[in-house]
A and B are shown apart, each in its own frame.
Chain A
Amino acid sequence: MISIDNKLYIRDIDTYIDPFFPVERAIITHGHADHARAGHKHVLCTPETSEIMKIRYGENCASSFQTIKYGHSVKIGKISVTFYPAAHILGSAQVLLETAKHRIVVTGDYKTILDRHLDPFEVVPCDLLITEATFGLPIFKFNKPEMEIERLLNNISKNRENTFLIGAYSLGKAQRIIWLLREAGFSDDIFVHGSMDKLCDFYQSKGIRLGTLRKATLDNKKDFKGKIIVAPPSALKDRWSRRFENITRCYASGWMQVKQRAKQSQIEIPLVISDHSDWNELTNTIKQTGAEKVWITHGREDALKYWCEKNGIQAEPLSLQHRDETSEL
Chain B
Amino acid sequence: MKAFSNLLSDLILTSSRNRKLSLLEQYFSSTPDPDRGYALAALTGSLNFKNIKSSFFKDLIKEKQDEHLFDLSYDYVGDLAETISLLWDQEKSGNMPRLSSLFENLKKAKTDELKSYIINILNISTADQRWAFIKLFTGGLRIGVSSRLVKQALANYGNVDLDEIEKIWHGLHFPYINLFSWLENKGSKPKISIYDTFHPMMLAHPLVMEKDLEAANPKDFVAEYKWDGIRVQIVSHSEGCRLYSRTGDEVSKSFPEIIKTIQGNFVLDGELLAGINNDPKTFNDLQQRLNKKAPSEKFIEKNPCFIKVYDVLFFNGDDLRDKTLIERKKVLSSYFSTNRSPMFLSETIEFKDWRFLDKIRDISNKQIHEGVMIKSVSSPYIAGRPRGKWFKWKRNPKNVDAIIMYAQRGHGKRSSFYSDYTFGVFNKEKELVPIGKAYSGFTDEELNRLDKFVRSKTINRFGPVREVEKTLVVEIAFDEMSLSHRHKSGIALRFPRFKRIRWDKPTNEVETLEQIRKSFLE
Contacts and interface: CB of A to CB of B under 8 A. Distances in A.
Contact of B413 (A260, A269, A303): A260
A300 B71 CA distance: 13
A96 B476 CA distance: 54
Interface stretch (B80-88, B115-123, B363-371): B80-88
Contacts of B44: none
A141 interface: yes
Determine which residue in A139, A261, A262 has the highest number of CB atoms from chain B within 10 A of its CB, and name it. A139
Contact of B72 (A268, A269, A303): A303
B13 A263 contact: yes
Nearest to B13: A268
A155 to B, nearest CB: 10
Contact of B68 (A260, A300, A306): A306
Interface residues of A, number: 25
Contact of B69 (A261, A270, A307): A307
B416 A261 contact: yes
Given A260-B78, A260-B413, A139 B13 contact: no
B82 A258 contact: yes
Contacts of B333: none
A9 to B, nearest CB: 23
Interface in B63-78: 65-66, 68-69, 72-73, 76-78
Contacts of B412: 260
B105 interface: no
B72 A300 contact: yes
Contact of A258 (B65, B68, B72, B77): B77
B144 interface: yes
A306 B69 contact: yes
Given A260-B82, A263-B144, A139 B416 contact: no
A300 B76 contact: yes
B73 A259 contact: no
Q: Is the interface of B mostly helix, strand, loop or mixed?
A: helix
Interface in A256-294: 257-264, 266-270
A184 B395 CA distance: 62
B72 A302 contact: yes
Contact of B87 (A138, A262, A267, A269): A138
A257 to B, nearest CB: 7
Interface in A223-272: 257-264, 266-270
B15 interface: yes
Contacts of A306: 66, 68-69, 72
A157 B145 CA distance: 27
Nearest to A270: B13
Nearest to A138: B69
A41 B458 CA distance: 37
Contacts of B415: 258, 260-261, 264
Interface in A125-147: 137-141
Contacts of B9: 259
Interface in B145-168: none
Interface in B390-428: 412-416
Nearest to A266: B15
B77 A139 contact: yes
A141 B90 CA distance: 12
B288 to A, nearest CB: 37
Contacts of A259: 9, 12-13, 79, 82, 131
A138 B69 CA distance: 7
B82 A269 contact: no
A222 interface: no
Nearest to A264: B413
Nearest to A307: B69
A266 B13 CA distance: 7
A272 to B, nearest CB: 10
Contact of B83 (A139, A261, A262, A303): A139
Contacts of A137: 69, 72-73, 76
A225 B471 CA distance: 52
Interface string B449-467: 0000001000000000000
A267 B69 contact: no
Contact of A138 (B65, B78, B144, B416): B65
Given A260-B79, A260-B416, A263-B144, A138 B12 contact: no
Nearest to A143: B127
24 contacts: A137-B72, A137-B73, A139-B83, A141-B86, A258-B86, A258-B415, A259-B13, A260-B413, A260-B416, A261-B415, A261-B416, A263-B12, A263-B144, A263-B413, A264-B414, A268-B13, A268-B14, A270-B13, A303-B73, A306-B66, A306-B68, A306-B69, A306-B72, A324-B455
- 8 tightest CB-CB pairs across the interface, nearest first? A139-B86, A260-B415, A139-B73, A303-B72, A268-B13, A137-B73, A266-B15, A138-B69
Interface of B: 9, 12-15, 65-66, 68-69, 72-73, 76-79, 82-83, 86-87, 131, 144, 412-416, 455
